[in-house]
């Protein structure tokens, strides 16, 4: 049997047609019509005013911090329960992260966020919040706190492209936001990211920095340093084809979750990641915790049947890299990490696959 992966790429079928157009035009690199089309499709879908196609979401977060003027010695708040790509840019800027733990939503806790602001050695300049596994965090409370405190809000919507909160797309609430098109995300360009903002000046500045910060001269003139962070036209062609099926992919991700829930709901020790009121997440990965059973045992049993599953993200405040970082935590994400797993959630997997996986889990319990 072929291995069942957590979230493998799922092509729409149109990608190669668009790539062929790129080859015919010979705009293989660097930029070209498909980069513009890809950015426009993300703007149209999400409702954000300005999108910038980049080599990754990590690059997008780096540009966001640069544009917002985060620099050496500054403090940046961040969800602790997330993937490293969410917070590496804080280190790129020689700034100091302050990690904030989760609450019962599994996403950042608004009350611990307030505590973190109160305990920060200096006023933090920005907050990076993750919409974990495609589920939206408590945006209304988070936005209110940021507004009151004068802290810039950056949404890490890497996993939540297509998620909504009160009918508005995730990634359009903060000052800036990123979506990821990495290989395992809900859509993929093989690797890539999009930075969005309502603020046109910021996106223009990010674009300038993403293309080596070349000043507007015939020769190469530089007043500051930039990066080589733009997306290629070939990858943007894949992105355009992928955006056409985003609704279908979100629908299928949610269906996969519903099937897991149906088959496993009668097991008292299993708890699924919640969905906060007023939101509709992408269920990028179906995730759950076991009250008694060790996740490692389940992961091993599935692996023997050539099925990939994984522990939940290890919180940033538990990482050796951040042993000296400031953190406000109450054990919530640590417990989730110790008890939880991600189940295969690829949109091309069959309903029978899901039933079989649930059979294996039930057998193991």
Ligand X SMILES: *Cc1c(COP(=O)(O)O)cnc(C)c1O
Residue nearest to ligand X (CB): 85
List the one residue from 102, 109, 130, 289 that touches ligand X (CB under 6 A): 130
In the complex, minimum distance from the CB of residue 327 to ligand X, in angstroms, rounded to a whole number: 18
Choose the stretch contacting ligand X; rule: CB under 6 A; options: 24-32, 51-59, 98-106, 136-144.
Answer: 51-59
Between 235 and 325, name the residue whose CB sits nearer to ligand X.
235
List the one residue from 12, 41, 46, 58 that touches ligand X (CB under 6 A): 58
Kind of pairing, strands 152-156 and 286-290? unpaired
Site membership for ligand X, residue 96 (CB under 6 A): no
Peptide bond into 30 cis (omega under 30): yes
Site membership for ligand X, residue 38 (CB under 6 A): no
Please give the DSSP secondary-structure letter assigned to residue 174: S
Site membership for ligand X, residue 83 (CB under 6 A): yes
Mutual orientation of helices 200-210 and 57-67 as an angle, nearest 10°? 120
In the complex, minimum distance from the CB of residue 178 to ligand X, in angstroms, rounded to a whole number: 7
Between 170 and 289, name the residue whose CB sits nearer to ligand X.
170
List the one residue from 42, 89, 98, 158 that touches ligand X (CB under 6 A): 158
Give the start-end residues of each E strand in the chain.
Answer: 50-54, 75-79, 96-100, 126-130, 152-156, 164-165, 168-169, 176-180, 193-197, 270-272, 279-280, 286-290, 310-311, 326-328, 340-343
Burial (Cβ within 10 Å: 0-12, 13-18, ≥19) of residue 91: middle
Site membership for ligand X, residue 155 (CB under 6 A): no
List the one residue from 15, 101, 103, 159 that touches ligand X (CB under 6 A): 159
Q: Find, among 75, 63, 170, 57, the residue nearest to 126 by Cα.
A: 75
Measured CA to CA, the distance from residue 42 to residue 17 in angstroms comes to 20
List the one residue from 156, 176, 270, 357 that touches ligand X (CB under 6 A): 156
CB atoms within 10 A of CB 236: 27
Choose the stretch contacting ligand X; rule: CB under 6 A; options: 80-88, 140-148, 199-207, 252-260.
Answer: 80-88
Q: Is 5 helix (H, G, I), strand (E, B) or coil?
A: coil
Site membership for ligand X, residue 106 (CB under 6 A): no
List the one residue from 162, 171, 193, 315 that touches ligand X (CB under 6 A): 193
Site membership for ligand X, residue 41 (CB under 6 A): no
Q: Find, among 286, 287, 332, 340, the residue nearest to 311 by Cα.
A: 340
Between 157 and 302, name the residue whose CB sits nearer to ligand X.
157
Choose the stretch contacting ligand X; rule: CB under 6 A; options: 10-18, 153-161, 200-208, 303-311.
Answer: 153-161
Site membership for ligand X, residue 345 (CB under 6 A): no
In the complex, minimum distance from the CB of residue 136 to ligand X, in angstroms, rounded to a whole number: 13
Measured CA to CA, the distance from residue 363 to residue 23 in angstroms comes to 51
In the complex, minimum distance from the CB of residue 162 to ligand X, in angstroms, rounded to a whole number: 14
Q: Phi, psi at residue 314, to the nearest 5°?
A: -80, 120
Measured CA to CA, the distance from residue 328 to residue 230 in angstroms comes to 35
List the one residue from 180, 233, 286, 334 that touches ligand X (CB under 6 A): 180
List the one residue from 41, 46, 48, 56 that touches ligand X (CB under 6 A): 56
List the one residue from 22, 57, 116, 195 that touches ligand X (CB under 6 A): 57
What contacts 84, CB < 8 A, 6 or more positions away? Answer: 316, 319, 321
Residues that bind ligand X (CB under 6 A): 56-58, 82-83, 85-86, 130, 156, 158-159, 180, 182, 193
């Amino acid at each position: 049997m072929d291995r069942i992966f957590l979230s493998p790429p799922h092509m729409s079928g149109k990608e190669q047609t668009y790539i062929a157009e790129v080859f015919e035009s010979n705009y293989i690199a660097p930029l070209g019509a498909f980069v513009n089309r890809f950015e426009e499709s993300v703007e149209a879908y999400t409702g954000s005013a300005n999108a910038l196609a980049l080599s990754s979401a990590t690059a997008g977060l780096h540009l966001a911090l640069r544009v917002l003027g985060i620099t050496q010695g500054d403090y940046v708040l961040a969800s602790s329960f997330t993937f490293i790509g969410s917070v590496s840019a804080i280190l790129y800027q020689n700034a100091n992260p302050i990690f904030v733990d989760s609450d019962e939503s599994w996403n950042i806790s608004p009350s611990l966020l307030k505590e973190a602001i109160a305990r920060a050695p200096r006023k933090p300049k920005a907050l990076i919040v993750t919409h974990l596994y495609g589920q939206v965090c408590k945006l209304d409370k988070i936005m209110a706190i940021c507004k009151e405190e004068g802290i810039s809000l950056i949404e890490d919507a890497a996993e939540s492209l297509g998620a909504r909160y009160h009918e508005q797309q995730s990634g359009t609430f903060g000052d800036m936001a990123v979506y990821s098109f990495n290989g395992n995300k809900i859509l993929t360009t093989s690797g890539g990211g999009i930075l969005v903002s309502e603020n046109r000046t910021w996106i223009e500045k990010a674009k300038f920095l993403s293309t080596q910060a070349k000043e507007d001269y015939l020769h190469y003139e530089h007043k500051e340093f930039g990066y080589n962070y733009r997306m290629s036209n070939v990858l943007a062609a894949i992105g355009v084809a992928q955006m056409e099926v985003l609704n279908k992919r979100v629908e299928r991700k949610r269906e996969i979750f519903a099937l897991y829930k149906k088959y496993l709901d009668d097991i008292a020790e299993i708890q699924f990641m919640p969905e906060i009121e007023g939101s509709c997440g992408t269920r990028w990965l179906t995730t759950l915790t076991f009250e008694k059973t060790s996740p490692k045992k389940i992961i091993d049993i599935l692996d023997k049947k050539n099925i990939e599953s994984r522990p939940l993200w290890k919180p940033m405040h538990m990482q050796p890299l951040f042993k000296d970082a400031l953190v406000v935590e109450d054990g919530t994400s640590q417990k989730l990490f110790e008890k939880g797993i991600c189940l295969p959630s690829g949109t091309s997997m069959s309903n029978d696959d899901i039933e079989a996986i649930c059979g294996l889990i039930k057998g193991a319990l």
